[in-house]
Every structure is written in structure tokens, then in C-alpha cells.
A and B are shown apart, each in its own frame.
Chain A
Amino acid sequence: MSAPVGNGVLGRGPFFWAGMALMTMGVIVALGMTGAVEQKPLLLLMLLVPLSLMVPLFVAASRRADASGQGCGKGAAQARYIRRVILFAELYLIAVAAMTYFTKTVETQGVVRVVLALLPGFAIVGVLWAIGRLIVEESDEFMRMLVIRQTLVATAVALCGASIWGFLEAADIVPHLDAYWVVVAWFAGLGAGAVANRIQFGAWGAV
């Protein structure tokens, strides 16, 4: 069945935008891992591309949720979740841009430096909070179960990845990765969890 008019962004659905975000994220990870790009600020700035792609992803997902909700209550919690994620993703973009700009152009020290470094992390905490609220607020037990399954898969992916990478790093086999990559792995795990949901239950869960 073709997508209804108004479903998606630029004629593309959420999975197209999710694919684009994952692909660009993969390219950036590859550039960082291979040493093609060594400057961390530049890598962080490049992360703005996949994160910017999250905006059309969530807008498309929101439109799809609205289109399929049709008053049966399905879209309400997910719509709030999407709005919250868009808000914190935008705050993250601003925080990373501010941190990168000020650390590159101004000699930041002390409290200012700490605050600038904390802001992006707090924005990511906001996204994690939004996922937690989705689990609390979702009144549809099946959809809630799908989201919980996604977070369990994501946690497994992130913790397994961190454990294996940590010991490989300790043995000087792989390069050092900053701790926030655990969160990146967790978000990738959410995608894997959605695929697992689709295979087992015929529905994706939350984007």
C-alpha cells in the first residue's frame, strides 16, 4: 500500500531517514576509526549531519503516528515522545555547536569549560528521559512491550560492545573511544531492537 499524502518528509518515510542517519553515522565512525579524521572537534561537528537527519526522521515518524492513530489512543504517547526527542536533539545540536565554537575560538577555563562540556551530555540525558517517559505514558500494553524490548536489546548491544571494546582497548588492540560512544551504540541497539520486534511481533515499536 502506498504512503498516504502528507505521510513523511520530502516524500520519504521514517525508515528512509533512519537509514540515512545510520549510514552517515557509520561513515563518521569509519573516518574516526581509520584515522582519516583525527580531530575530535571535527568529528563531533560531523555528527551534526546524522543528528540533523533525526529531525526529518522524527517528523516523518510523527506524521505516520498521527495518520495511524485515528483517535484510538495509539499516537498520543508516541507523539509526545517524538516532540521531546526533537526538542532535546535540537538542544544537543546547539550545545555541541557552542562547545566546539567556544573551545576552538576562546580560551575556556574553569566553570565555563565544565558547563560547556556538560551541556551535550545533559541533552542526551533528555533523550533517554523521553524514552523512559514513553514507557511510563504508553497506555497500549503491546506498544509499551515493544519499546521495553527495544531498550533491552539496546542495553545488551551497548553493554556487550563496551565490555568487549574495553578489554580489546586494554590489550592495545583497538584505539581508545570516548565513553559517549556507549550511548551511540545504545541508540543503534534501539534500531536493532525495532528490527527484532518486527520479525517476532510484526510491528516495529518506537522509532
Chain B
Amino acid sequence: MKNRLKVLRAERDWSQQDLAEQLGVSRQSVNAIETGRYDPSLPLAFRIAGLFALPIEQIFEPEEDVAGRD
């Protein structure tokens, strides 16, 4: 899954550690999500969306092959 987490974080001038602390997760988690190595659970995705005050689909979007199945 692709995401705009790094851009959104940079817009607010937050470090990965800053974001991790606000989400209550490790910096490694933020890094793994940002780099697309790990897709967060739905509850964590909602926490991220709530923090940035954006709908989930404006932060995360499925890869093209997954989106094309519908």
C-alpha cells in the first residue's frame, strides 16, 4: 500500500520520533509504514488519519493491481 505519510509529516516539520510519540508507537513503526514495508492495521490507520485530520484514503491508497480488482 502506498501512503503520503512522509509528505504529511514533512509539511508539519515533524520527525519520525515526533510522529511516533503522538501515535504511541515506535519510531521503527513509523519508518516501516513510511517506506511501505509495513501496512498498519485499520485501528492504527484511523489513528494516523485522525492525527492529520484527513480521511484514510487521502493518506493511504492501494497499489494499482489491488485497486484494479474492483
The number of A-B residue pairs with CB atoms under 8 Å apart is 56
Measured CB to CB, the closest approach of chain B to A202, in angstroms, equals: 6
How many residues of chain A have a CB within 8 Å of chain B? 17
A70-B32 contact in complex given A140-B26, A142-B38, A201-B37, C-beta closer than 8 Å: no
In the complex, the answer to whether B41 meets A202 with C-beta atoms within 8 Å is no
Main DSSP-derived SS at the B contact region:
helix
In the complex, the answer to whether A68 meets B21 with C-beta atoms within 8 Å is no
Measured CB to CB, the closest approach of chain B to A206, in angstroms, equals: 12
Task: State the CA gap A58–B35 with chains docked (Å).
Answer: 29
B31: contacting residue among A71, A139, A140, A202, CB under 8 A: A202
In the complex, the answer to whether B25 meets A142 with C-beta atoms within 8 Å is yes
Interface residue A203 (Cβ < 8 Å from any Cβ of B): yes
In the complex, the answer to whether B20 meets A202 with C-beta atoms within 8 Å is no
Interface residue A143 (Cβ < 8 Å from any Cβ of B): yes
Q: Chain A, 139-152, contact with B by CB distance < 8 Å: what is the 0/1 string?
A: 11111010000000
Measured CB to CB, the closest approach of chain A to B1, in angstroms, equals: 14
Residues of A169-207 at the interface with B, using a CB-CB cut-off of 8 Å, are 200-203
In the complex, the answer to whether B27 meets A142 with C-beta atoms within 8 Å is no
A142-B32 contact in complex given A72-B17, A201-B37, C-beta closer than 8 Å: yes
A143: contacting residue among B21, B29, B33, CB under 8 A: B29
Measured CB to CB, the closest approach of chain A to B27, in angstroms, equals: 7
List residues of chain B with CB under 8 Å of any chain A CB: 17, 20-21, 23-29, 31-33, 35, 37-38, 40-41, 44
Instruction: Report, nearest first, the 5 A-B pairs whose CB atoms are least far apart.
Output: A74-B26, A142-B29, A203-B28, A72-B21, A72-B20
